[in-house]
Structure 1
Amino acid sequence: MFSDERSNTISKQALNFPVGLLINSPKRRLAKLGRKTSNGSVQSSSSDTTTRSNESTGVRQPAKNKIRRHNNRLSTVFSRGPHLKDNQSDEDSTVADRMHLTDDPSELSMQISAPGVLKIFGSEISTGANYKSVLATSHSSAQELVKEALERYSLDKAEAGAYVLCDVIGRLGEEHQWKTECFRVVGDNEKPLMLQSLWKPKEGFSRRFEIQRKSSVEEKAAKEKDTVTAGINAQARKLQKIRSRGASVFIEGDLNSNFSLWRSLSEVNLSVKSKDPQKNGKSLLLEDLEPEVDKEGQCLGIEKEETESSDDNTTQYSIHPPFELPYFLLLQGYSYRQDFVIYLMSGLTHVFGRCSENSTGEDEERIKVDILLSAPDILPRHCSVRRLESSSHCEATKKTVTLVKPLHGANLTHNGIPVKEETQLQTGDLLGLGDFYLFMYKDPTAPSAGQRPSWLTSPMTDLDGTVACKMCGSSLLGEADRKTKPSHRKSVHRLKDSNGTDLSLTYDSIHEDQLLNKVINMTDPKGDEPKLSPAFLLCLCIQHSAGSFELSDFRRLLLRIASLVQTVMWEKTKELARIQPEIVKQDPDKLSLLSIKELIPGLQPLAFWMSNSIELLHFIQQEVPKLLLWGEEGGEIEDSQVSATRSASEEAMTVLEEVIMFTFQQSVYYLTKTLYTALPGLLDSNPFSESGQLCVPDGVNHILEILKETLQLLNQYEVHSEIASQLFAYLFFFTNASLFNALMERGSGGGFYQWSQGVQIRANLDLLLDWIQGIGLGDLALDFFHKLSTAVNLLATPKQNLLQASWLSLRSEFASLNPAQLHHMLREYNPGRPCPAGWSPTPEEAEPAMRMADVLESFDNHPPLILPCSSFHIELGRPIQDLRLLSQLSRIREFLCSLKQSSPVPSQQYEELWPPPRF
């Protein structure tokens, strides 16, 4: 029996139960906040630390608590404030703090006081982490320990193939900083504990086991291999240079002897061309065939005596191209040390191919490459160039045709257009090989040698007034933008419309803040505009900044976008809180709530920004790396710039995650408050008419109205389907727990638990589940309503069947009810009369059946919030299906045109009036 005081406590608990929202992302480990403990709290890991970028001060957090990348947890679904709790984990500590517990200072991964526990260090896979402890035996293999360590670092075991266990030898230096001397990769089937017992490090050194990325280990091994083999391959590389020069610079003896070519001093160690062409050619050969330093000095001395302008720096670095044979002029190369300026076409056929540092002269002879290039994307035989004389009956009209052909599907462009078949070259044409090399073909013997190249056309003006190249379509930066030209390559990935045409939003950096404010505020969440307009336009801004501005400007843009979205969401949440009636001060137990019709307008801005934040988070997480192309492809970007940009991206994603979590939490908070007042109708309504027909009573209809309005809200604002289903999961979870606890309370005192009452509740519950099944969430609802459905089935069982049943049979048939819940319902089913002897709990369950604390359902076992990883509306290369978004793009372009037509503010004056935030 529950007292009145107990009943009031239960009602207040259902109305304000504490539920923390966990957030997990299957594809992005940084979104995983921690592990769920037995009491429903969230325990974070000390290894899950966040590297903040210097730009983090540009983001303003309206809440009192600062946003954290990990260890963030919503304190309650039903608390209005945004305050978050951060649980600290003291699981991991530094080596210095625990050195006094280690019996053997040479073995940092073992501790005799804790046998069977192996410490695996992982600072490389999680910055700031020290070690994680895993259980190990002498039979545990390295591969098994890697999987356990990944689980301890909150990573997926399926990624074990990307990590290896390393046996690392080093020592602790000053301030207990670990310094690695050497390491060895432990084989997958090796036994680390056995290895540790059989072999000890040298005195003064210590061992520890580390988990490292396989790619990082391979990179370190490759660097060491390059260092060791550098001396061995020096002569081979010299021979390659001799062959390359011989193929591309020198002319066979039967060619006209008056040919001359000047090379730069930095390439061939010659100051100027000799007056005697024959002697100059001889000195060139001497430099290649006699590479000793003293002989090179003698050659330089001879050349200096034979020229009158050897001390002229301008002459030293000038190049005179050949005038009797065609050649390729290097416009952009890959290696300053190995690339030449001019590649001469001295024969009828020449093959371009890759120069491998590990190849020998015999290998080059086998693949028959005439011109060696060093970029990694050049194939061993990349393309061939041949010269043919066109057939003609008249000897006087004979002319030579130059043809280029890609080999083995190589990446080759002719005047910016990809080449798949053999194509004719004209003098002045541009030939691109891979992503790095760009040549201009010149034939001084051709009649059209002095004509304007076909690709050199006048620029065109874009729709928004931007001047763009007519050949490639890229914008031509103005004087103000030249100062902010990007240091990274432009990506080929673009947003596209339904026809596959690239979409772009071009703007000047001085207009960026005005543009962002316009995008954030131009769409009314309650209006008829497309709901994903802000995310679409902001993604276009990110796309333009990634390809047109410096990385520092790009970082500022990401942080600025996240800050603006967070601020506007915060303001909309405060507006909703102001219209929600407060608890009447005279009677705190009496609550005045908005109806669902009154609540939906306040929830619309939350759904609006939740939907847009989900798209923005995905775009920054998955698409921005494609725009920047950092890594090996973007080698021209400094590592510090890449690291800072990644940190800024993480900071922006953290803020957007917080926006998603908070809008989700507030939506659940207000919807469950409204739903709570409608739920008792399901227990009290009679779904049967006087004629015995089944109909939907008002008590069920009120619940259905709330669910229908919620579904319409989520569909109207294009909230991701996975997030929408999870929001309904929270509503189902709350409905099940609230109704079950109310059912337990109603039975206290007797009279409510009757067969007729159970049949009515069963029919009402079936009406609710039928509607849920119709919207495609039937399986989800069955999981959450299982406890309530089992209790209702017990009440709807005929009394004669119950009287004949035993405790064991009832426990088996209604297994979802724990002993205390089943005993409570049986005891209150027939009040005033002794219960049948068969209903008595067994001796093993007699004590659990009397625990009154186990009768009610807890509100702590809520489902986690999992971020989606697929099926987004805005992705690079995926056509934008909503044509209304293109009209929004036209509006924002008109706004930018109006900014340009107005009197522009000089960049220096602009920074004085609106200084950018300090990073």
Structure 2
Amino acid sequence: MFPEERKEGSPRFGKLHFPVGLWINSPKKRLAKMSRRWPSVGSVKSTSSDTASRGSETVELRPPGKGKAARHKRLSHLFHRGGGGGGGAGGAAAAGGGRWASEKKLAELADPAPEGDPAAAAEGGPRGPRQPPGILKIFGGDLWRGANYKSVLATPRSTARQLLREALERYGLPPEAGPPGAFVLCDAVGRAAGPGGAWQAEHLRPLGDAERPLVLQDVWKPKAGCSRRFEIRRRQEVERAAEADDDEPPGEAQARRAQRSRSRAASGGPAPPKERADNLSLRRSISDMNLSAKKRRERKSVLSVAGGDAGPPLAADAPEEPPAEAAAAEEPPEALEQLAQSLLRPPGRHPYFLLLQGYGPQEPVLHVVTRARHVLGRRGAGGPPPDTALEAPDLLPRHCVVRAGEPALVRPCRGAAVTHNGAPLLRQAPLAPGDLLGLGQHVLLLYRDPRAAAPPPRPPWLPPAAPAPGLAGALGCPGCGRSPQERLEALRAYAQSRRPELRFRPQEEEALLREIVRLPSSSSSSCSAGAGGGAGGAGGVGLAPAFLLGLCLEHAARALPPDHLPALLARVARLVKEAVWEEIKEIGDRQPENPQEAAAEAPGVAEVAAELRPLVLWLANATELLNLAQGRVLELERELEPDLDGPDPLLAGDLEACDEALAVLDEVIMSTFQQCVYYLTKTLYAALPALLESDPFAGPGEPRAAAGLDGLPEGLRPALAVYAAALELGRDCQLHPALVSQTFGYLFFFSNASLFNTLMERGSAAPFFQWSRAVRIRTNLDLVLDWLQAAGLGDIAAEFFRKLSATANLLCTPRSSLSQATWARLRAEYPALTPAQLHHVLSHYQLGPGQPCPEGWSPPAEEREQIAAGDIFESFTEHPPLLLPAEGFRLRPGEAVSDEGLHRHLCRLRRFLWELEQGSLPANQRAAYGLEGPA
């Protein structure tokens, strides 16, 4: 029963040409996000004390719960297939529906969209991660005498109107109880100065409906000795107090109005229309709300905060100032200078950006970062407004994103021109205090973080020290300050270093890739057994192609534009597929077309191993390369942020291109494995029948397994030689251990099915089903299993030779014991045999001349129909699937190159790239020296 030969014109790639198919079970996981919840806040009890110390403790924050790390898994994760453990259906239902009603209410209050907030309304919800709520104490002593405070649950986005409504309900006074707008929430600043330490208000300011008390409390702190609290006052009384301010001196009234304007702007509320018309929140800019051109004109006579002279006087044709501004200009210079310095004082608890260069003449100079994710972009470009709005025309609506943390991270949006300390920023990078961030061609920002404990180091954007004087300094590089000799030494040190780094320019990429892909073919003739690890085996190649191609992917992901990595990965996958196709085609062209010639000129085991060596090399390299590429795709997926205006279509397209490239590598592994197994089983097919026909007792001495093949019976050597060649080939080419095990699993599956079918086919005619012949089969099978056990393959062989071993044990049973056995007993003792197979063996078993089969061997009536319809032969289609490994890879990215073979190939490619780069330059610009490296 010889395997079917390939028909004329049939494809040779990706298909087995005998009745054995292959399929790959490579399940892929999807990306999942786990929701985070704030822990439920317990009830807060009101206290009866009204002292100043408690009046300052207005907010009580609860620490957020520790969220579980998100797992990024996509369908393209060919290597990450773990079983479904973790969360079940019950966990999903609990997470989706919520366990208690308090959690639902807390989730709604954690970050509500405030009324009148166009940014939140335009975005469809709050941006950034939710912030924990706090407890705000609102005092109601003005409602009636003796009333204490009520605790209200609030967030930094809660407005004064919302909190006022909630507090009135807690006091039992809903808004419909009185006329609309009868009450107002006020920001009161005072101290404990009354009898008994009672708290007395010294300054009172009504809050606007859209102002946010928690933001106001976090930014504007009362001076030493004073404390703040929020009170509910009647609007009529507050208006009377405001009218009384008109009787105050002009300077004090102007200072009071300026203080109210700054407080209202800081808390996110509307500023007076005469002083600020665009009404930006604190998150966008403090200076944008406080430093208008009008106020700078008011302080024309004030010294600058940097200690310079007074600004130039106003032009003669300047418009006449309003009476209020004229009154402010008449204030003492010391008071206005102190006011100007307070306006420019940076925050002490939040990082911020300082504008060094802007586009418009009225650009704000201070931009505070108060969100966990802060977006910088162009103002008025449509869509949701950014957190920091700038006016340069070449900026995108969302130009870059800054993430708070230790350290802070900055990531440019797709298509945005961003520089970090003067260098182009292509992907996410850490942002340290003192770094320069350039947006487009007009905006330059300096990042500062007052929370940093240690002073910032020397800024990396400062120019290097001047080169040393003399000839060496004159010939030095003006950009790096090093002499030509120093540059030569640094270049030679890089060419011989063991760092896993391979730098190249895009114009040399194609030549570099083709040089790497030619390695397995160029060294297939030299087949020296190598040491483990690196590129020691297979003529010195081993895993060098996968290692070098992985370095190319690493360089593209680190130093080239983001859209270059998917294109490079696709190009690498196509080149590997073309190389494997050529090897398969060459092996197929050397095979005889005529079946008679194929049987007469069957190649030996050594010839088959030499032909399969390039294929096994590519099988090992494609597996390692697929793991390295999968790691790069996982890092690319982490940049996909679907919660920021939806997923980025360009990034989604890049991931789709990477998925297609990974699928090509998957196809290469499948096709290479198919062809290797095909030629091994074809060679093994002609050697297996000797295990049934040879006599192990024919030679001198007792038959026993040996380390080599010389001490084994003659009939067992051909089959064991195929196993030994396959094992040596896998180890020499450094094939992944999981693929080596699966290769032998398929070889043993094929051997068991082929021997069992031959035994069932010839058993009815030849004298196989008798005790004397069965003893030979059992002895040969034991010798093969013992040899495989010594080679480290005993457990795999025992699993796949189970049916043949059970049949041999049945035939080796003594005739006296077997004749007394019943059908039920034999079915229980030999479960590996189906009823049809057991009945076929028993019905053709030879007890002796003229002895019929015992009555106990007859199957019961209920199993006779199953026996008649059953097949006695083993199917070749029920082979084990090919599972891609998930761990145990030999190449580890980021580690220094310790293997001498890999280091030799790396240094050779560095010299190759140097020659390509020098060859592209004019003759008068080429270097007069070369690069040496290890031989």
1:761 and 1:708 mapped to 2: Cα distance? 21
Q: 1:433 to 1:24 in 2, by over 3 A?
A: farther
1:798 and 1:788 mapped to 2: Cα distance? 18
What do the CA deviations read for 1:705-754 (whole angstroms, capped 9, x no partner)?
A: 10000001111111110011001100000000000001111212252222
* Deviation of the 1:21 alpha carbon: 2.1
Q: 1:329 to 1:809 in 2, by over 3 A?
A: closer
Which protein has the larger Cα radius of gyration, Structure 1 or Structure 2? 2
1:534 pairs with 2:545: yes
Q: What is the aligned counterpart of 2:589 among 578, 582, 588?
A: 578
1:508 pairs with 2:524: no
**Who is 2:800 aligned against?**
784
Q: 1:466 to 1:811 in 2, by over 3 A?
A: farther
1:627 and 1:19 mapped to 2: Cα distance? 39
* Deviation of the 1:381 alpha carbon: 14
> Aligned ranges for residues 875-890 of structure 1 at < 5 Å?
875-890=892-907
1:631 and 1:836 mapped to 2: Cα distance? 74
The amino acid of 2:504's aligned partner reads Y
> Aligned ranges for residues 802-817 of structure 1 at < 5 Å?
802-817=818-833
1:736 pairs with 2:752: yes
* Deviation of the 1:297 alpha carbon: 4.2
**Who is 1:838 aligned against?**
856
**Who is 2:275 aligned against?**
296
Alignment check: 8 A CA contact 1:758 1:795 kept: yes
The amino acid of 2:721's aligned partner reads E
Alignment check: 8 A CA contact 2:30 2:74 kept: no
2:315 and 2:837 mapped to 1: Cα distance? 104
1:706 and 1:357 mapped to 2: Cα distance? 62
Alignment check: 8 A CA contact 1:525 1:531 kept: no
What do the CA deviations read for 1:481-511 (whole angstroms, capped 9, x no partner)?
A: xxxxxxxxxxxxxxx9999x74211111122
Comparing 609-618 with 818-827, greater Cα deviation is found at: 818-827
Alignment check: 8 A CA contact 1:681 1:699 kept: yes
Alignment check: 8 A CA contact 1:737 1:859 kept: yes
Comparing 625-634 with 702-711, greater Cα deviation is found at: 625-634
Q: What is the aligned counterpart of 1:642 among 634, 651, 655?
A: 651
**Who is 2:533 aligned against?**
none
* Deviation of the 1:126 alpha carbon: 9.2
Structure 1 gaps, min length 5: 1-6, 32-123, 128-153, 168-183, 191-216, 253-276, 313-319, 344-351, 359-373, 383-410, 417-429, 443-448, 477-495, 906-919
The amino acid of 1:736's aligned partner reads N
**Who is 1:23 aligned against?**
24
1:898 pairs with 2:894: no
1:440 and 1:542 mapped to 2: Cα distance? 37
What do the CA deviations read for 1:563-595 (whole angstroms, capped 9, x no partner)?
A: 0000111001001101122233xx599575322
**Who is 1:848 aligned against?**
866
The amino acid of 1:844's aligned partner reads E
1:797 and 1:224 mapped to 2: Cα distance? 77
**Who is 1:674 aligned against?**
683
What do the CA deviations read for 1:301-353 (whole angstroms, capped 9, x no partner)?
A: 464576648999xxxxxxx999x9999994799xx9xx98569xxxxxxxx99
> Aligned ranges for residues 622-633 of structure 1 at < 5 Å?
622-626=631-635, 629-631=638-640
The amino acid of 1:606's aligned partner reads L
**Who is 2:729 aligned against?**
713
Q: TM-score, normalised by structure 2?
A: 0.54
1:158 match: secondary structure? coil
2:774 and 2:821 mapped to 1: Cα distance? 18
2:738 and 2:731 mapped to 1: Cα distance? 12
The amino acid of 1:626's aligned partner reads E
2:316 and 2:715 mapped to 1: Cα distance? 102
Q: What is the aligned counterpart of 1:725 among 729, 741, 746?
A: 741
Q: 1:522 to 1:581 in 2, by over 3 A?
A: same
**Who is 1:519 aligned against?**
516
Q: What is the aligned counterpart of 1:597 among 606, 610, 615?
A: 606
What do the CA deviations read for 1:206-245 (whole angstroms, capped 9, x no partner)?
A: xxxxxxxxxxx99999789999985638966687479648
Structure 2 gaps, min length 5: 7-15, 32-71, 76-80, 102-123, 134-153, 161-208, 226-250, 266-270, 278-291, 301-312, 319-339, 375-400, 410-429, 436-445, 469-475, 488-493, 527-538, 705-711, 923-935
Alignment check: 8 A CA contact 2:760 2:872 kept: yes
Q: TM-score, normalised by structure 1?
A: 0.55
**Who is 2:159 aligned against?**
232
What do the CA deviations read for 1:820-871 (whole angstroms, capped 9, x no partner)?
A: 11121122122764212222222222233344x5111111111010000011
1:826 and 1:513 mapped to 2: Cα distance? 67
Aligned residues, how many? 596
Alignment check: 8 A CA contact 2:617 2:733 kept: yes
2:551 and 2:252 mapped to 1: Cα distance? 61
2:293 and 2:808 mapped to 1: Cα distance? 102
Structure with the greater relative contact order (CA < 8 A, sep ≥ 6): 1 or 2? 1
Q: 1:353 to 1:30 in 2, by over 3 A?
A: closer
Q: 1:354 to 1:228 in 2, by over 3 A?
A: closer
The amino acid of 1:294's aligned partner reads P
What do the CA deviations read for 1:271-310 (whole angstroms, capped 9, x no partner)?
A: xxxxxx9999999756513541414249754645766489
Comparing 639-648 with 684-693, greater Cα deviation is found at: 684-693
Q: 1:377 to 1:819 in 2, by over 3 A?
A: same
1:829 pairs with 2:845: yes
The amino acid of 2:793's aligned partner reads L
* Deviation of the 1:600 alpha carbon: 1.1
1:867 pairs with 2:876: no
Alignment check: 8 A CA contact 2:677 2:747 kept: yes
2:19 match: secondary structure? coil
* Deviation of the 1:777 alpha carbon: 2.2
* Deviation of the 1:691 alpha carbon: 4.8
2:780 match: secondary structure? helix
- When the two chains are superposed, the root-mean-square deviation of aligned CA atoms in Å is 5.7
* Deviation of the 1:606 alpha carbon: 0.8
> Aligned ranges for residues 270-669 of structure 1 at < 5 Å?
287-291=261-265, 292-297=271-276, 300-301=293-294, 303=296, 308=314, 330=353, 376-378=403-405, 456=464, 502-523=499-520, 524-526=522-524, 527=526, 528-584=539-595, 592-626=601-635, 629-631=638-640, 639-669=648-678
Alignment check: 8 A CA contact 1:536 1:874 kept: yes
* Deviation of the 1:531 alpha carbon: 1.3
The amino acid of 2:802's aligned partner reads H
1:289 and 1:310 mapped to 2: Cα distance? 35
* Deviation of the 1:561 alpha carbon: 0.5
Alignment check: 8 A CA contact 2:746 2:880 kept: yes
How many percent of aligned residue pairs carry the same amino acid?
35
1:378 and 1:763 mapped to 2: Cα distance? 70
2:453 and 2:622 mapped to 1: Cα distance? 41
1:808 and 1:332 mapped to 2: Cα distance? 91
Q: 1:817 to 1:289 in 2, by over 3 A?
A: closer
